[in-house]
A and B are shown apart, each in its own frame.
Chain A
């Protein structure tokens, strides 16, 4: 049964477009997942002073480089957003491609770290610190990979000048991934004692 389309002239709505609003709710949900995980880690860490000697074995240099890498990719996605605003879709798509490349570099460095640790005999079972390390960075890395796929999908649209509002939404998600890393890096790599 089909009723003829009715164009509803006006709606009561918030000042945010639906896509952005939906994205914020989604990010709020993500935030509590990582928030819960970080809270668990912090509570355990305060109880286990002995984790410091395990934490001393993380490759903090790799983590530091990765922090800079991920922050740079946040910059390029913002530049893409600005290029869309200016109507320069080709430039925007290129900036998104650059974001994907830098994000991929992050994953490569992370893989290098995991390889180094596993070759040294360190696995999630070694100690609770390493369980948290692999779980938190692994879950974050999954989010990075998901973000790379999402940016690629949006980029294909932008090249054709379609669904331009999605650049902002995928950018919001990418910032979240970035912010979570900003918490993980000090907690896992540079906290001692």
Chain B
């Protein structure tokens, strides 16, 4: 013991200390993961309700009742909010980040375990506040997930008073929780690495988590200020964003998207990080262009701060601003192309094993490509003036966020489940889950591109009110049936997840024959993670090494 921060506690915690107020990064990760998955069910249910309203307008929805225009707005608002802030962020950052950062760098825990526990409990509090907002008089917030004023600035405009206040409070608490987590991630990865784990030997997942944490930290501040200002507008009656008092609603949009665009990458980067671990392991090849991926990620992170106004091309910004923001938006696809092409190049000449994790990883690449390519239409100001706020945009961002958050999440869960719980998940159920999920997802969103290009606005609660939208009604029905299939397709996953936890095939330390450090620890790792001292001698992806007795060398294999 050389210094106090290296001390590993010997005390065996009781039930409450182990499962509720745990200081162990692995238990905190599981808490985040489970909370995120539960919220995914809530978010999916909301999507089912409003999609049913769109397909069969004004019919009572099974399991909900009749929707009505005011509730419709609440449903879409909370669907977006939950999926971004209460599913993607807790699973990808809170879950994978907490579980993997210490294990991947060879540390025994996070740098600040108490801060880590606190970040989860603040997150849980934010979840409770958000869920409570469904049950207050007036129902949940109905201002859209971006919560633009003036609509959101005065409770009488949407008829939702407490729901809106609680929404702002919940989002602010969630931000605080992620900020605390980010301080921990950054300090841990910079100061807790095992001997020999230089920065450029870190698995790419760690780089992605770090970059995501820095992006979040540097972009969220102005929106925290903006959220406080908006809350004062709603409660005290100030006019920060209200034109009637001299305020400017456009300012809120700037604050929101200055955060909102980096936020897309806060979600995307950990998703890509899952791929950088899963693909080499099942392709049995070293990753193509490790340094190119690191530097491209950093470049994309820097660029993500100067693209935000592409969300505001029709909000009345100065047209002279539209062109530079179009340019930076199109430039940012260059570093991301480098990352994506590097991942694709990793498949070249590989001996690929199509496990469930790998299938989800490959599909994430393919589907994200569709999202990325359609983003170029939106990024160009001229095209965006037509496409803005149509279903084309809805389809586009679901083709980016569904792969980044949901497909990558499944890839990660199938891949790291043996390390988390010491047992493997069923491959048969995994493949059933994969094929039903991926087909139904595409059947939902491909039709939405079509109706979007015909000019179908995204915030219409009853499309049959308009004669010119009637020819597309059958596409709404197709998309809604596919939504129901997509939700049912998650049943094999839920069964697989909980059954495998107790009855799955027992996994040894390294079931996938992978090279990174988490696989040298026991499955599941005990308190303190590693049962022997770790020294790192090589890079993270040494697969198919000719001189090795197996075809791979773990990072701690001596040179």
Q: Provide the bound-state CA to CA distance between A2 and B524, in Å.
A: 11
The answer to the question of A32 belonging to the interface, with a C-beta cut-off of 8 Å to chain B, is: yes
A125 and chain B: residue at smallest CB distance: B237
The answer to the question of B186 belonging to the interface, with a C-beta cut-off of 8 Å to chain A, is: yes
Of residues 73 to 129 in A, which have CB atoms within 8 Å of B's CB atoms? 124-125, 127-128
A18 touches B5 (CB 8 A): yes
B232 touches A1 (CB 8 A): no
B236 touches A124 (CB 8 A): yes
B238 touches A124 (CB 8 A): yes
CB-defined contacts of B526 to chain A, threshold 8 Å: 1-3
A22 touches B251 (CB 8 A): no
A6 touches B531 (CB 8 A): yes
A31 touches B221 (CB 8 A): yes
Q: Provide the bound-state CA to CA distance between A31 and B111, in Å.
A: 23
B191 touches A18 (CB 8 A): yes
B221 touches A13 (CB 8 A): no
CB-defined contacts of B8 to chain A, threshold 8 Å: 5-7
A128 and chain B: residue at smallest CB distance: B246
A18 touches B187 (CB 8 A): yes
Q: Provide the bound-state CA to CA distance between A36 and B10, in Å.
A: 45
B183 touches A40 (CB 8 A): no
Q: Provide the bound-state CA to CA distance between A6 and B6, in Å.
A: 9
A35 to chain B, nearest CB (A): 6
The answer to the question of B359 belonging to the interface, with a C-beta cut-off of 8 Å to chain A, is: no
B218 touches A28 (CB 8 A): yes
Given A6-B531, A128-B245: A33 touches B187 (CB 8 Å cut-off): no
Total contacting residues, chain A, CB less than 8 A: 44
Total contacting residues, chain B, CB less than 8 A: 66
Given A3-B526, A8-B6: A35 touches B222 (CB 8 Å cut-off): yes
B240 touches A128 (CB 8 A): yes
A36 touches B190 (CB 8 A): no
A18 touches B111 (CB 8 A): yes
Of residues 197 to 250 in B, which have CB atoms within 8 Å of A's CB atoms? 197-198, 217-226, 228-229, 232, 236-240, 245-248
CB-defined contacts of A30 to chain B, threshold 8 Å: 221
B195 touches A12 (CB 8 A): yes
A40 touches B251 (CB 8 A): yes
A28 touches B217 (CB 8 A): yes
CB-defined contacts of A35 to chain B, threshold 8 Å: 221-222
Of residues 23 to 57 in A, which have CB atoms within 8 Å of B's CB atoms? 25-26, 28-37, 39-40, 43-44, 48
Of residues 81 to 125 in B, which have CB atoms within 8 Å of A's CB atoms? 106-108, 111-112, 115
B6 touches A131 (CB 8 A): no
CB-defined contacts of B240 to chain A, threshold 8 Å: 40, 128, 131-132
A33 and chain B: residue at smallest CB distance: B221
B183 touches A26 (CB 8 A): yes
B190 touches A2 (CB 8 A): no
The answer to the question of B255 belonging to the interface, with a C-beta cut-off of 8 Å to chain A, is: yes
A12 touches B193 (CB 8 A): yes
Contact indicator per residue, chain A 167-185, by CB within 8 Å of chain B (1) or not (0):
0000000000000000000
B237 and chain A: residue at smallest CB distance: A125
The answer to the question of A64 belonging to the interface, with a C-beta cut-off of 8 Å to chain B, is: no
CB-defined contacts of B220 to chain A, threshold 8 Å: 29, 32
A13 to chain B, nearest CB (A): 4
Q: Provide the bound-state CA to CA distance between A17 and B5, in Å.
A: 10
B10 touches A2 (CB 8 A): yes
B221 touches A48 (CB 8 A): no
Interface residue from A9, A13, A43, A48 paired with B246 (Cβ < 8 Å): A48
CB-defined contacts of B187 to chain A, threshold 8 Å: 18, 21-22, 25
CB-defined contacts of B108 to chain A, threshold 8 Å: 6, 8
Of residues 1 to 29 in B, which have CB atoms within 8 Å of A's CB atoms? 1-2, 5-8, 10, 12
CB-defined contacts of B525 to chain A, threshold 8 Å: 3
Binding site for A on B (CB under 8 A): 1-2, 5-8, 10, 12, 106-108, 111-112, 115, 179, 182-184, 186-187, 190-198, 217-226, 228-229, 232, 236-240, 245-248, 251, 255, 258, 522, 524-534
Binding site for B on A (CB under 8 A): 1-14, 16-18, 21-22, 25-26, 28-37, 39-40, 43-44, 48, 124-125, 127-128, 131-132, 135, 139
A-B interface, 5 closest residue pairs, ranked by CB to CB distance from nearest: A36-B222, A32-B221, A3-B526, A33-B221, A12-B193
